[in-house]
């Protein structure tokens, strides 16, 4: 059994054959159609224990998928953490030194701190600077419905609707502990055409997370017409996606003490009917819902001071 008593139902693919990419950066491959079009990227294993993205990139590379216009980049991000994944302790390989997905502010990238993840982020940064559209593939601690995180911008919401799945879109500003890759640079600048999404595909090691990751990845690439539509048609989920709903996050609950605890078992997407309902305690401080029908987004089991415990949101559409 794995972390949080969830079984590991996925086999992590061997990605070592993809080490020598064609970009000069290990585990990053860019394919150029030589025809006009956008540069789109799909990234995986930002967290080393999140397997579904690696499986989907392996699927695309084994099938020698090439763009029919523009450029396509496929990147295995925190490969060092991924390569120490152990099903017997499946939560331990989230990162080597620190969370790769909290390092994308210029203060961290341009600063003097050093870690395995910072070195890798600085290494792949030139590629992220080049891409027009990024899909970052993730999974979650609990078996929660998939979420498409579009960031704080209207352009992010539009791109999420263009992809069309999954059903729940989350508009949020990220974490106080650090900047996510999807929020890097001009991705959050409304005036720039560059845009990004982060998809949470379900519980880390559940086989259904791969189905979601593949479907959303193909829909994302299809929305820019960069892949052969016949290939997409062969591998996409053909059931029409459900109508999407937008949840706007008003802010994360950042842990202030070493004594944070939830008052009940929350797994995510619970709707708390009444404002002022206490859902946690942070030391002596009660953490209560700020409004009626408050949606609890991705409550964490990693209750560490300075990190996000949960995000509060409301249904906007």
Tell me the CB-side half-sphere exposure of residue 149, using CA atoms within 13 A: 25
pTM for this entry: 0.93
The whole-angstrom separation of Cα 173 and Cα 156 is 11
Residues comprising the chain, all counted: 317
Other Cβ atoms closer than 10 A to 209: 29
pLDDT reported for residue 1: 34
Confidence at 2, pLDDT banded by 50, 70, 90 = very low
Does the pLDDT at position 4 exceed 60?
Answer: no
Residue range 261-294, pLDDT digits in tens = 999 999 999 999 999 999 999 999 999 999 999 9
Q: What is the pLDDT of residue 314?
A: 97
pLDDT tens per residue, range 172-206: 988 878 999 999 999 999 999 999 999 999 999 99
Domains and CATH numbers, the chain: 3-243 (3.40.630.10), 249-315 (2.40.50.630)
The SS3 assignment for 238 reads coil
Number of helical (H) and strand (E) elements in the chain, helices listed first = 7, 14
- 182 contacts 198 by C-beta, under 8 angstroms: yes
Mean pLDDT of 286-315: 94
User: How far is Cα 194 from Cα 315, in angstroms, rounded to an integer?
Assistant: 26
CB-side neighbour CA atoms (13 Å) of 229: 3
pLDDT score, position 317: 76
């Amino acid at each position: 059994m794995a972390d949080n008593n969830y079984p590991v139902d996925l086999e992590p693919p061997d990605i070592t054959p993809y080490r020598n990419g064609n970009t000069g950066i290990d585990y990053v491959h860019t394919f150029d159609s030589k025809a006009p079009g956008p540069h789109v990227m799909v990234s995986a294993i930002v967290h080393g224990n999140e397997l579904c993205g690696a499986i989907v990139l392996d699927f695309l590379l084994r099938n020698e998928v090439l763009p029919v216009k523009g450029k396509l980049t496929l990147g295995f991000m925190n490969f060092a953490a991924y390569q120490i994944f152990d099903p017997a302790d499946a939560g331990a390989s989230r990162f080597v030194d620190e969370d790769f997905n909290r390092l994308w502010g210029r203060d961290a990238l341009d600063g003097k701190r050093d870690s395995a993840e910072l070195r890798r982020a600085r290494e792949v940064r030139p590629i992220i600077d080049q891409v027009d559209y990024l899909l970052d593939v993730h999974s979650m601690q609990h078996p929660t419905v998939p979420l498409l995180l579009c960031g704080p911008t209207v352009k992010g919401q539009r791109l999420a609707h263009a992809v069309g799945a999954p059903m729940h879109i989350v508009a949020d500003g990220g974490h106080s502990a650090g900047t996510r890759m999807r929020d890097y640079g001009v991705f959050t600048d409304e005036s720039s055409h560059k845009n990004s999404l982060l998809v949470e595909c379900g519980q880390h090691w559940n086989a259904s997370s791969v189905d979601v990751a593949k479907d959303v990845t193909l829909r994302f690439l299809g929305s820019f017409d960069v892949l052969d539509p016949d290939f997409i048609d062969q591998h996409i989920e053909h059931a029409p996606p459900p109508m999407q709903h937008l949840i706007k996050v008003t802010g994360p609950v950042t842990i202030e003490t070493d004594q944070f605890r939830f008052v009940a078992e929350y797994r995510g997407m619970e709707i708390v009917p009444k404002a002022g309902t206490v859902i946690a305690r942070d030391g002596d401080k009660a953490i209560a819902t700020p409004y009626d029908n408050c949606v609890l987004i991705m409550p964490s089991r990693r209750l560490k001071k300075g990190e996000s415990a949960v995000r509060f949101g409301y249904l906007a559409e």
